[in-house]
Amino acid sequence: MQLTVALTASTATFCYEVHSTAMHPPAYHPDHRLSDWPECSLEVHRPCSERVALLPIRHLIEQRGDRTISAVLASLRCSSCNGMPGPVHLVAGQSRTFNHGPPPVWTLELIPPPPTPART
């Protein structure tokens, strides 16, 4: 099941896709706070490599406070190249199939993958 939705926050438009294997995720809005998703993780793909980081929401709350999802997304940067990550997923649970774990109950694509450069 895939569902693509565009939401407009106060300063930016965020698009996300729903990928579900078992159930539909709860209603989502970029102005939700991290504490609304305590059992989830952010799956962050680095722009300069194939590496992926899983950031547990509880850890983000402890380290950075209870911010809005849109504020967290705007502040994400790669520690190697200082680029914006993409794609970024909000994942139910602590694992995804990329690390040989079980498929997530659901996942939201918060930031799409960067466009592939055109060949010349």
Q: What is the pLDDT of residues 8-54, one digit of tens each?
A: 344 444 455 555 455 566 788 889 999 998 889 998 998 888 888 88
Residue 10 has a pLDDT of 40
Give percent above pLDDT 70 in the chain. 67
Residue 23 has a pLDDT of 58
* R_g (Cα) of the chain, nearest Å: 14
Residues 6 or more apart in contact with residue 100 via CB below 8 angstroms: none
Q: Give the whole-angstrom CA distance, residue 57 versus residue 38.
A: 6
Q: Of residues 95 and 4, which shows the higher confidence score? A: 95
Give percent above pLDDT 90 in the chain. 32
The mean pLDDT value for 72-87 works out to: 91
Q: In which region does residue 111 sit, left (phi positive, over 0), alpha (psi from -120 to 50) or beta (all else)?
A: beta
